[in-house]
Chains A and B, each alone.
Chain A
Amino acid sequence: TKKKMVVPGAGEHPLQYNYTFWYSRRTPGRPASTQSYEQNIKQIGSFASVEQFWRFYSHMIRPGDLTGHSDFHLFKEGIKPMWEDDANKMGGKWIIRLRKGLASRCWENLILAMLGEQFMVGEEICGAVVSVRFQEDIISIWNKTASDQGTTARIRDTLRRVLNLPPNTIMEYKTHTDSIKYSLGRLPWA
């Protein structure tokens, strides 16, 4: 069954794309297999306008106030925040590790840049993730084509501009195929 796509309300400011918020939380002690990952990830809701975005976002906990092993994902409507999704499987992500205390501000700046189409890379952006971990937090932005160096360079330069990060911040690009290999390498039978 195909879900009805959301539309902007009367007088609202439409976004270039519709987006969906997702939330996931790792159950301690469980292996992170694809199946359990998909079971742990919950849709919060979709929006089509600036005003609808604020209605969701204003009621959400700020990433810096989350505890445990949790993630917020914001992806274009129709793209699952998983490597296996058709839009992601040839793609990759820029990863920025943040010391504790920076996640809420960086996440907000990142998603506002994405919703406002600040990256200027056509259809390439898939979504963004903030991952709250024990000692540090991680934000990432996913794009469709990992091999397109012009696109990945442009995303990196836009990230530097919109996040206003300390100059020594390390940014790392990781293809999803590498992420899959790495995670398989940690399984006992691989």
Chain B
Amino acid sequence: GTRIIYDRKFLLDRRNSPIAQ
């Protein structure tokens, strides 16, 4: 199947998303 690929910026942007708190 497809691999789930995220770049550094995408991961860093999720850091402060409300869902991660």
Contact = CB atoms under 8 A, between A and B. Distances in A.
A62 B11 CA distance: 18
16 contacts: A11-B19, A16-B4, A50-B14, A51-B14, A51-B17, A51-B19, A51-B20, A54-B20, A55-B20, A112-B8, A113-B8, A115-B11, A116-B5, A116-B10, A117-B4, A118-B5
A162 B8 contact: yes
Contacts, number: 44
A54 B19 CA distance: 10
A109 interface: yes
Interface string B1-12: 001111110111
Q: How large is the interface on B (under 10, 10 to 19, 20 to 34, 35 or more residues)?
A: 10 to 19
A7 to B, nearest CB: 14
Given A12-B19, A54-B14, A116 B3 contact: no
Interface in A148-164: 162
Interface of A: 9, 11-16, 50-51, 53-55, 58, 109, 112-113, 115-118, 162
B7 to A, nearest CB: 6
A162 B19 CA distance: 27
Contact of B4 (A15, A55, A58, A112): A15
A13 B14 contact: yes
Nearest to A10: B19
A113 to B, nearest CB: 7
